[in-house]
Structure 1
């Protein structure tokens, strides 16, 4: 039995969701509502003490961290359609891209998401409500980030994040000009994990990602969105918050 706890098909939650659909694995989706701060509720912290999504329950064993969950699905279900290249070099190339998205790409986009969505959410709370919400957050660094978001990120932090977003877009465009998929000729977790962050950039960052400036990146997004698994995922997976990039990243950033 597989149960995936997530915020729905956006950002980091999208990674294992799409992997499950691509592999054709039966699972129970559990939507964790960030607007109600369910990921900080006692029932969810009993599943993941860090209060973060996504989290996978496989027969009572809990696996966390979005990219780790994707790799776990590959190892646990080797007979399902593979999402890793068969050769060692191809897998190494795939992991360069999954490592990069986790350590660089996701974080700069997430910062913009926090500013655009989490900041207004935090400021809409009274002082008493805000302190109660922060007290329920189990990770001290996340408590500090909520306070920063409420006050507003300094302009220099936002400028640096936008600089890194532009670098990320340029790297993706350059790579996709060389091959149809990030790790080479085959679709893999490299594509799924980067697609999770890049998918809504045509609306969230239209000056950076558009058919004129980044034709290969836009075409790649269209190819993934046209895949049967992606169509099924978006049609059947719950999401109750805006999914525009920067906004969609904001909902995931609550748990990041």
Structure 2
């Protein structure tokens, strides 16, 4: 019995969600609404005390951290379609990319996302409402991030994060000019985990992700979007989960 708690098919939540669809595993999707701060409510913190999604419940065992969940699904369901290379060199190459997206690429994209999406949401709250919400966030660093988003990140921070995004886009483009997938000739968790962060950048960051500047990256995004599992994930998420707010272009 698998239950995935997530924000839906975007960012870190998309990693295990798309992995489940690619492996053809039956599971129960549970949408946790960030606009209602459900991930900070007691019922969810009983599942993950850190108050973060995604979280996978497999027969009562709770697995957290998006990339760890993906690797867990590979280990727990080896007979399902494989998303990890068979040879040690290929596995290492895949993990270089999943480690990089977790430690570098995700963070710079996340800061811009917090500035564009979380900041306006936080500023709609009164001071009293905002402080009450913060009391329920178990991680001090997350509390600080909410405060920064509400106040607006300093321009120097945003400029540095945009520099890192451009570095990330350049790295992906160069790699995908060499092979169809990030770990070589096979579609793996490296692609799923990076796609979860890169997908949509052709719209939100169209000045740097487009057919002229990054043809190989854009083609890779389009290939993954065309996969049956990806299309099924997005289609079913529209009926199983409420619509997510669109990212502002400002």
Task: Place the TM-score, normalised by the shorter chain, in its bin.
Answer: over 0.9
Residue 209 of structure 1 corresponds to 209
Residue 228 of structure 1 corresponds to 228
Residue 252 of structure 1 corresponds to none
Residue 185 of structure 1: SS of its match in structure 2? coil
Structure with more relative contact order (C-alpha pairs < 8 Å, separation 6 or more): 1
Residue 110 of structure 1 corresponds to 110
Residue 116 of structure 2: SS of its match in structure 1? helix
Residue 62 of structure 1: SS of its match in structure 2? strand
CA contact (8 A) 1:9 1:239 kept: no
Q: Measure, in 2, the Cα distance between the counterparts of 1:213 and 1:40.
A: 40
1:2 equivalent in alignment to 2:2: yes
Residue 191 of structure 1 corresponds to 191
Q: Measure, in 2, the Cα distance between the counterparts of 1:245 and 1:88.
A: 42
Shift of 1:240: 2.4
CA contact (8 A) 1:113 1:246 kept: no
Residue 96 of structure 1 corresponds to 96
TM-score, structure 2 normalization: 0.97
Instruction: Extract unaligned runs of 5+ from structure 1.
Output: 248-256
CA contact (8 A) 1:7 1:239 kept: no
Aligned residues: 247
Shift of 1:197: 0.1
What per-residue deviation string (whole Å, max 9, x for no partner) do you get for residues 165-195 of structure 1?
0000000000000000000000000000000
Q: Measure, in 2, the Cα distance between the counterparts of 1:241 and 1:78.
A: 33
TM-score, structure 1 normalization: 0.95
Mapping of residues 19-30 of structure 1, within 5 Å:
19-30=19-30
Mapping of residues 55-74 of structure 1, within 5 Å:
55-74=55-74
1:133 equivalent in alignment to 2:141: no
Instruction: Extract unaligned runs of 5+ from structure 2.
Output: none
Q: Measure, in 1, the Cα distance between the counterparts of 2:135 and 2:105.
A: 29
Residue 63 of structure 2: SS of its match in structure 1? strand
Residue 137 of structure 1: SS of its match in structure 2? coil
Q: Measure, in 2, the Cα distance between the counterparts of 1:230 and 1:187.
A: 13
Q: Measure, in 1, the Cα distance between the counterparts of 2:123 and 2:164.
A: 26
Shift of 1:241: 1.7
